[in-house]
Amino acid sequence: MYSGWNWVAHGLYLLLNICSLEVSGGLVQSCGHIIPESPVLALGSNFTALCILNESCLDFGNIYANQIIWKIKNRVVPKEQYREINRTVSSVTFNDTSSLATPLTCNILADGQIEQNIYGITVTVGLPPEKPKNLSCIVYQVSKLTYPMTCTWNPGRHTFLDTHFRLKYRWPQENFPDCIPKDVNNSCTISDVQFFVNLEVWVEAVNALGKAESDPLVLDPIEIVKPLSPHNLSVNSGILPTVLKLSWENRISEAVMKLKFNIRYRITGDTNWMQVPPEDTASPRTSFSVQGLRPYTEYVFSIRCMKEDGVGYWSDWSEEKTGVTTEDKPSKGPPIWRIIDASRSPASWTVHLMWKALEPFEANGVILQYEVTVRTKSSLSSPPEKYNVNTTNLTLKLPNGTYEVTVIAHNRVGASPPSVLLIPASNSKAPVKNVRTLPKDGKLWVGWTAPNSYVLKYVIEWCLVSNSSDCIIEWQNEPGNVQGTYLKGDIKPFKCYLITVYPLYADGQGSGQSVKAYLQQDRPSKGPTVQTKKVGKAEAVLTWNHLTVDEQNGFIRSYTIFYKTIDGNETAVTVDPSKTEYTLSSLTSDTLYTVRMMAYTDEGGRSGPDFTFTTQKFGKGEIEAIVVPVCLAFLLIVLLGVLFCFNKRDLIKKHIWPIVPDPSKSNIAQWSPQVPAKHNFSSKDQMYPEGSFTDVSVVEIEADDKKSFSEQDLKPFDLLKKEKSTSEGHSSGIGGSSCMSSPRQSVSDSDEGETTQNTSSTVQYSTVVLNGYRDQTPVQVFSRSESTQPLLDSEERSEDHAGGGDSTTQRQQYFKQNGGQDETNTDRPCFERTKQIIPANEGDIVGFAQLQISGQSSQPLGLGLEKNTQEAALSGVLQTSTEGQTVRPETVEGNPLSVDEMPKSYLPQTVRQGGYMPQ
């Protein structure tokens, strides 16, 4: 612990002693220094520095040269470069000063503990100046008597040091003060010089590493003068239309220097200068006439000068002045062309003559009018027709033929040579061949192959092809000895032009050969819109319209159709650009497809909108192949069924239309009671209106023959008993009728030996019972008898009286005789012998039966008989009758029916409307 604190205290003591200052006479002294002090070194040279310690500082501690550390910009120099000269001096050596940096410091490590800076220097590295080169001098004329001289030189490489240049000059026996450049290091101006005396001039460059001088230049200042340009230039027109006269003033005395001149000129608006031959202006002068100019043309002039012998420099060009030449007659006739419209009438033409305005250098003035002459070649004796126009076109209607047209332009001076155009009756001469175009240098070049015959000139005609505007024709003439030219009009990119070349001969012209061209192409503005024309099961016919010329932007090279399903890959098909229809094949049936189309030019393609379609599920003829056989099979089955029914018609008729006895032949149809007991009519109309009865079959059966009938077949006869009882109850009280004197038994056709019936022993009413066909519920309908015996008032129900006259009328309408028999016929007996109708078999019994019921009545009928007496019903079981057997019912006494249980109508029974009708 003690040892540690001892070292700390000792270190602080050394530090204070090293950093302490000895004040002697007011000066502060360091413990060491470095030599050389702030050196300037040549780049790449060797350098050695020495650090010397002061003896006075050695007494404070063990400080020696071997403890010195060298640093460059706080970077320790390797110890291999150190050298200890003695105990107070240490050196460091650098073989290449390019690695040196500032500052370079000398440091000491006291007792190996604390590093302390002793001294530091700034090191400057650079290059010595090079020899100045390319020294040259010019004497600029500032005024008529002032001529300063400016010299320039090349200062050489950059030295990285402060380098000073001086321009030195002298006469052979006299020196002048140096010219020191200001703010530059490569030029200096001497304010005034003397002519006709040789002057020596050179440049000196000096910096910390050395000095260099240029080669001397010996010259006479008069030989390097650049004079001022002539001034007050004026231009005047001369007598001739091709001459302009120039005049000016010189600003240098001829005693000092004689001058020569250069004159340049150009047409206003042109950028190319023309120059008067130098030999024409090689002598001193103050004016000059420029010849060979264009009439009525504005020119721009400028002039410059220099020493006559050519030694020295040209002056700057003078300010520009303009002048206009006078007018002259036109140098040539206007180019002429025509458009012939022969569509309206084949016997005459509509000729549109057009010519171009002359260029200014051709018009030589202001064109006042054009004189057009039309001469017929077929008839030389006819006088020509002349027209004077102020425009550049003329429309004429001429008969079909050959014409010669001349156009002459007039200005204030005179007329132009005539321009001649031959309009032949037909273009029968040889045309040009192989018309082609080529975009070149922003222009459209047109070439062709000349015909074998001599061509006077060519006419190139072109127009912009567009759907939105008409084709406005432009044209130009070319000499007959050329086979290609650039179009001179305003040709626009991405537009289609129709170009036609006509060869003109001395005696006619050839037909035009055309070609379409683009100055520059682009992608189409839009893609084609595709649609389906026809869609099948595995194919689809696509159709589209060509893009308009304005939308193409170039030549359409191909179409590409892309189609795919929703989840399938896209398939591409390339189509010829001339087509507007294409058939896609090998498609999947009943599938949704998406199709689009792209149009391609030389610069790329553009796609149209997507279109979807669905293929058919069945192909053409597949549905017909299924439907037709099915229909034919159905028709065959129907035909076979009809033939089968026709062959089995008897059997079918037996089961569907069984033979039923005809009730119209029954005796019961010849009579009916005058007034029915009761009819149950609906509220809307009668149950069975007039004429609703159909044929009634009547069957007589013996009462004791029950063997052949089932229980179901005997149900109507049970009802018959009730009806009979009711009927007798109603008729028992009727007085004055011979038919009600005494009852008797039924009579059948088989009772041949019985005595004749009398009317006093017959029953007044009969009942026809309908047995429903094949278990159908029978409907009982009663019809009135032909008896004239009136009913007692007490026998009528209260409901009949409540109905009033309307119910009576309904009953009378309902109970009319079926078959058209007269109800008032009283000559017919109450009962007639009915014919026996023998059914063919058991199945043909239909449920209609007529019963003639006879018996003895031992009691008179009264008003209350309806309630106190009941008719005997049929009893016993009827047996099945054989062929020719008569079935007769038996009368059995029984309980009388109540009013509610009584049937609502009388026989004979008919069939309800819409029910089964026996045949």
User: Which residue reads 């702030």 in tokens?
Assistant: 38
Backbone angles phi, psi at 267, to 5 degrees: -75, 140
User: For residue 806, what pLDDT band results from cuts at 50, 70 and 90?
Assistant: very low
Q: Are 181 and 205 in contact (CB under 8 A)?
A: no
Mean pLDDT of 168-184: 88
Separation CA 729–CA 796 (nearest Å):
12
- Higher pLDDT residue, 507 or 386? 386
Q: Are 777 and 770 in contact (CB under 8 A)?
A: no
Q: What is the mean pLDDT of the chain?
A: 75
Distance, CA of 31 to CA of 278 (rounded, Å): 83
* pLDDT tops 80 at residue 150: yes
pLDDT tens, residue by residue, 1-51: 333 434 333 343 344 344 443 333 333 457 888 999 889 888 888 899 999
Q: What is the C-alpha to C-alpha distance for residues 205 and 90, in angstroms, rounded to an integer?
A: 37
pLDDT of residue 432: 94
Whether residue 815 is predicted with pLDDT greater than 70 in this model: the reply is no
pLDDT of 533-548, one tens digit each? 999 999 999 999 999 9
User: Would you place residue 465 in the very low, low, confident or very high pLDDT band (cuts 50, 70, 90)?
Assistant: very high
One-letter amino acid for residue 165 of the chain: F
Which tops the pLDDT comparison, 61 or 215?
A: 215
- Res 622: pLDDT: 79
Residue type, 843: G
Q: Identify the H or E element spanning 361.
A: helix 360-363
pTM for the full predicted model: 0.49
- Please write the tens of the pLDDT for every residue from 704-734: 444 445 555 555 555 444 444 444 444 333 3
pLDDT digit string, tens, across residues 230-282? 999 999 987 899 999 999 999 988 888 899 999 999 999 999 999 999 999 99
pLDDT of residue 613: 94
Is the separation of the CB atoms in 126 and 42 below 8 Å?
A: yes
Tens of pLDDT, residue by residue over 750-776, are: 343 333 333 334 444 444 444 544 445
CB-based contact 35:105 (threshold 8 Å): no
More confident residue, 797 or 381: 381
pLDDT recorded at residue 855:
37
Q: 């029916």: which residue's tokens?
A: 897
Work out the average pLDDT over 519-544. 94
CA angle at 787 for the pair 783 and 790, rounded to the nearest 5°:
100
**In terms of Cα–Cα distance, which of 862, 738, 739, 840 is closest to 793?**
862
**pLDDT, position 23:** 36
Q: Say how far apart CA 499 and CA 162 lie, in whole Å.
A: 73
Give the mean pLDDT of 550-571.
93
236 neighbors 245 (Cβ within 8 angstroms)? yes
Q: pLDDT tens-digit profile of 407-427?
A: 999 999 999 999 999 888 787
Residue among 418, 374, 419 at smallest CA distance from 395: 374
Residue 334 pLDDT > 80: yes
pLDDT of residue 708: 47
Q: Residue 882: what pLDDT?
A: 34
Q: What is the pLDDT of residue 250?
A: 93
What does the pLDDT read at residue 650?
A: 83
For the four alpha carbons of 304, 306, 310 and 313, in that order, the dihedral sign comes to negative
What size, in residues, is the chain? 919
Contact assessment for residue 855 and residue 891, using Cβ atoms and an 8 Å cutoff: yes
Those residues whose C-beta lies under 8 Å from the C-beta of residue 793, and which sit 6 or more positions away, are none
Nearest CA to 276 among 243, 298, 248, 309? Answer: 243
For residue 283, pLDDT over 70 is answered with yes
The pLDDT of residue 380 is 64
What is the structure's pLDDT at 759? 38
CB 264 within 8 A of CB 270: no
Exposed / middle / buried, residue 630 (Cβ in 10 Å: 0-12, 13-18, 19+) = exposed
pLDDT score of 114: 74
- In this predicted structure, the answer to whether residue 152 has a pLDDT above a threshold of 60 is yes
Confidence check: pLDDT of 461 > 70 = yes
For the stretch 588-617, pLDDT in tens is 999 999 999 999 999 999 999 999 999 998
Query: Helix 649-656 crosses helix 622-647 at what angle (to 10 degrees)?
Result: 80
> What are the φ/ψ torsions at residue 842 (nearest 5 degrees)?
-65, -35
